[in-house]
Chains A and B, each alone.
Chain A
Amino acid sequence: MIALVVNPIAGVGGPAGLAGSDGAAVQERAEALGSRRRAAERARLALETVAARSAAGASRPVVITAAGAMGEDVVRAAGLEPRVVFRASSRDGAGETTAADTTAAARALVDAGASLVLFAGGDGTARDVAAGLGTDAAALGIPAGVKMYSPVFAVSPRAAGALAAAWVAASEAGRSLPVQEREVLDVDEAQLRVARVEPRLYATMPVPYLAGRTQARKSATPASEHAAVVAAARGAVRSLRPGVRYLLGPGGTMAEVARELGVAKTPLGVDVVLDGAVVRAAASESELLDEIAAGPARAVVSVIGGQGFLLGRGNQQLSARVLRALGPDPLVAVAPEQKLIDLGGRPLLVDTGDAAVDARLAGFVRVITSAATTSIYPVTAPDAEASDPEGEGHAP
């Protein structure tokens, strides 16, 4: 069963040049500037594609959704039948909805049996959906927000609809589409408005894929894109040595490393692995320092987001103190080659908050990109880049 949740106010700040739509003040200002709400329109485009694809078949899919503007209206407008399982508190979706409403709606949709949750919005909406998604359902973004750094959005509303239709068709045939664990990133809009872009990793969610339907295709096929992540993870696992504590950082690639190791991984935490077993999950900075004191240790990190941060975004537990304690060769860096390519020639970044530690890490880092394959890639600290503020280069 597919489900839909719409963040009605998503994207409202974009046309007004407000770098996002978070916060009531921004929303009011955007409305005052004459912004149109486009989330409903884009969600309708997606669902119309689902309707068109299923028109030829026997049954039109019922779409599990939230009342009013949070989905029901769009489902009807697209000519499909809604099954309303959630109402935004006291408003029936008629007034302004909040982030908590989106999270609660996502949870209700999954509880009602949704296997794929379509959501219309941007990175903020993705964050809220991820918080309510649980572990059993997949999700797919209908691009309608201002910020879309997270690789969880289809290339267009129609592409999202085509994927959803394929999901329905596969379910009816007793199959399922492949999914890939993708990162939910968001930037603090207040900082973005003062030209400081620091996307952080908030969660991961399983996203279905089909040739050419999720983002611009860079690999030969989506399957080979996934295979590249698996290969990088295998390369990393192959390099691990017995008797060494490995501090596994967060992120999609690290989740794959954990899968290859056969250990459970907290999506956003730093987990300590010794000889193939987790000895400390979601460790704090001081817990990490305790582990490092117990024997040889290294941090295993991946590239977070489009900015290319190895350290300092989403893995702040790996602090300057931790890195100092790790000794002269503190990092095992892992990333599929595509992540380096996507940097478009920009260096990897480290920002531990300690200039001396950052300076020591700067230079070149050896990044494991596949089994028996590494890249030597430049690393700098953003402070060292002060003369070249990164205003332009943040590809979603």
Chain B
Amino acid sequence: MSLPLAPKPAIRRFHQASWDEPVIFELSTPGERGVFVTPIEPGVRDAVGDVVAALPAGLRRATPPALPELGQMRVLKHYLRLSQENLGADLNVDIGQGTCTMKYSPKINDQLIGTPQLTAMHPLQDPADAQGVLEIVWSLERMLAEISGMDQVSLHTQGGSAAIWANIAMIRAYHEANGEGEQRREVITTIFSHPSNAAAAKAAGYEVITIFPDAEGYPDLAALKAALSPRTAAIMVTNPEDTGIYNPAIKQWVDAAHEVGALAAYDQANANGILGITRARDAGFDVCHFNLHKTFSTPHACGGPGAGANAVSAALAPFLPGPRVVREVAADGAVRFDLRDTDARSIGSVAPFHGVIPNIVRAYSWIMALGAEGLLAAAEIAVLNNNYLLAKVLEIPGASAPYAAGRRRIEQVRYSWQELFEDTGISSEEIGIRMTDFGMHYWTSHHPYVVPQPFTLEPTESYSKAEIDEYVAVLAEVAREARETPEVVRTAPHNQTVHHTHHDDLDDPERWAITWRAYQRKYFGAGTPASAAEPAETAA
């Protein structure tokens, strides 16, 4: 016989912790220390001398840094309190941050990268002492080559936009090598591709042409053909786009680009629903990239560092960033991994050393744990979850999924609350703020909003049906509130640590302050924080 338990309410009751925690600089007490460093033994001191004096004068500080001075336990409490004031990825149903692919990152992968075999490594170590790490890099490159259908892969870039930058840098180098650098000055992208494609192309000196969707919401092939010319350097497209719509004419897009001598670059940030189903090279693409931190286990954004992977056809391989990891088999059959400088055609080094090794190890571990069948299953479940979620969201009055009406989506959907907004005056942003009162994360869209009153959900393969149902129930509850008690939504959040933030200051260089020092300077006219005025005690 089970104990009589009071049933939980259908909608979770939640309240964020609020510690009213000061900024760490305000906690500083001059002289307080976390660790007192043991004085140097006289014998050692005599033998080594003054190591600081050995540094060039330009590298030595004239005054100590203005750092807060705190004991260890106070630092620990400070950051634990701040962490409780966050909606962390491991606490909430994190499907509201669409396009970020907030999938579960198995903890075993984090444990692996915390082992001394990795944490004690140094990137300048002799390759002979780093065979294991180099083998992981080499092996992951081969796996991603297989997943994309491409010939070669580089894991150098440290994030999605950095990888997009590497894509356009390789494209530029390719055209310059063929004597067409001056002629090909334009890059074509779509309005629903990630904006970093346009931004990176612009940063690389190209004129950018954006294509709007056609009447049905698909990337407009006729507009592309009108935009293509001998001046086109490349098309750079995300597919599926952030609407979750897969371009059914993607092969024609690539072919049309090739017909004018342009290259085709594939932003695979949204690859989570196509692993093992489609491959970039099979559609004819010359270049593509993955975000390891989205598709392959690693936590995204503030959950951890990013990491990109650039994959290219054989024709583009000489332009990959480096140095590259190579695998050599000796006459006696012994396998050895080494680092090789790239040749003159390479775009060179785009980041220090060999990429973000912790993310590379997480991705390697994730793929090895799943195998080819597991990757396919992950993609299929991500698509299934998304289309289940789509059906449930569309049951909420006032919600819609613009474009490609009645069709299924791949791994995410950009929805719209336009109808609810017209009925109630409650905007998508206000709904998002109210969602946090239930412990749920929510995101609208990149700016500018193309879908009116947008929200973007991506359930990935990680979430259970129960969790998806819970998320939808909260969405439906907030939509009901928007109609019946709109003031509750308009004045939200009610259960959060902080209330509304004031956005106007973020537009004003005189008032924005993203560091403590800038805040003191701009609001109090202070030169440096108070703690810096006291000469800090140097250890030993």
Contact = CB atoms under 8 A, between A and B. Distances in A.
Contacts of A156: 425
Contacts of A223: 507-508
B213 A376 contact: no
B503 A216 contact: no
The winner among A211, A222, A363 for most chain B CB atoms within 10 A is A211
Nearest to A235: B207
B223 A221 contact: no
B226 A376 contact: yes
B211 A376 contact: yes
A216 B212 CA distance: 22
Contact of A340 (B212, B215, B507, B508): B212
A228 B210 contact: no
A310 to B, nearest CB: 15
A308 B449 CA distance: 18
Interface in A363-396: 363-364, 366, 369, 372-378
Contacts of A377: 212, 223
Contacts of B507: 221-224
A28 B187 CA distance: 59
A104 B385 CA distance: 63
Given A372-B206, A374-B210, A211 B447 contact: no
B162 interface: no
B209 A376 contact: yes
Interface string B429-462: 1000000000000000001111011000000000
Given A216-B427, A364-B223, A366-B209, A373 B198 contact: yes
A33 B504 CA distance: 45
Contact of A373 (B208, B211, B217, B220): B208
A218 B503 contact: no
Contact of B448 (A211, A218, A344, A378): A218
Given A218-B448, A338-B448, A366-B209, A376 B223 contact: yes
Interface residues of B, number: 35
The winner among B206, B209, B427 for most chain A CB atoms within 10 A is B209
Given A219-B447, A219-B448, A363-B226, A375 B215 contact: no
Given A216-B427, A221-B506, A373 B210 contact: yes
B504 A210 contact: yes
Nearest to B502: A211
Nearest to B403: A345
B227 interface: yes
Nearest to B451: A341
B208 A211 contact: no
Contacts of B211: 375-376
A211 B427 CA distance: 14
B294 to A, nearest CB: 23
Contacts of B223: 364, 376-378
B246 interface: no
Nearest to B228: A376
Taking residues whose C-beta sits less than 8 angstroms from the other chain, chain A's interface range is 20 to 34
Given A345-B215, A378-B223, A372 B448 contact: no
A41 interface: no
A220 interface: yes
B69 to A, nearest CB: 38
A335 B508 CA distance: 25
A169 to B, nearest CB: 13
Interface in A330-379: 337-338, 340-341, 344-345, 363-364, 366, 369, 372-378
B448 A345 contact: no
Contacts of B452: 344
A228 B207 contact: no
The winner among A219, A221, A372 for most chain B CB atoms within 10 A is A372
B202 interface: yes
Nearest to B427: A216
Contacts of B220: 378
Contacts of B388: none
A319 to B, nearest CB: 26
Contacts of A366: 209, 227
A220 B506 CA distance: 11
A337 B449 CA distance: 10
Given A345-B213, A373-B198, A337 B448 contact: yes
Contacts of A338: 448
Given A218-B449, A223-B507, A224-B507, A372 B207 contact: yes
A375 B452 CA distance: 19
Nearest to A347: B215
A345 B198 contact: no
A251 B341 CA distance: 56
Given A363-B226, A364-B223, A372-B202, A337 B210 contact: yes
Contacts of A345: 212-213, 215, 217
A214 B169 CA distance: 41
Contacts of A217: 427, 429
B25 interface: no
Nearest to B446: A220
B237 to A, nearest CB: 14
A382 B327 CA distance: 64
Contacts of B202: 372-373
B338 to A, nearest CB: 42
A163 to B, nearest CB: 12
Interface in A177-220: 210-212, 216-220
B198 A221 contact: no
B104 interface: no
Given A338-B448, A345-B215, A216 B210 contact: no
Interface in B500-522: 502-504, 506-508
B447 A220 contact: yes
Interface string B70-100: 0000000000000000000000000000000
B208 A216 contact: no
A337 B226 CA distance: 19
Given A216-B421, A345-B215, A364-B223, A373 B207 contact: yes
A374 B209 contact: yes
A344 B226 CA distance: 21
A313 to B, nearest CB: 21
A164 B453 CA distance: 26
A224 B207 CA distance: 21
21 contacts: A155-B425, A156-B425, A211-B503, A216-B427, A218-B447, A224-B507, A337-B210, A337-B448, A338-B448, A364-B226, A366-B209, A369-B210, A372-B206, A372-B207, A373-B202, A373-B209, A373-B210, A374-B208, A376-B210, A376-B211, A378-B223
Given A211-B503, A211-B504, A377-B212, 16 more contacts: A155-B425, A218-B447, A218-B448, A219-B447, A220-B447, A344-B452, A345-B215, A345-B217, A364-B223, A364-B226, A372-B202, A373-B208, A373-B209, A375-B209, A376-B223, A376-B227
Interface of B: 191, 198, 202, 206-213, 215, 217, 220, 222-224, 226-227, 421, 425, 427, 429, 447-450, 452-453, 502-504, 506-508
Across the A-B interface, give the 10 residue pairs with the lowest CB-CB distance, nearest first: A223-B507, A364-B226, A220-B447, A376-B227, A211-B503, A373-B208, A375-B210, A376-B223, A372-B207, A338-B448
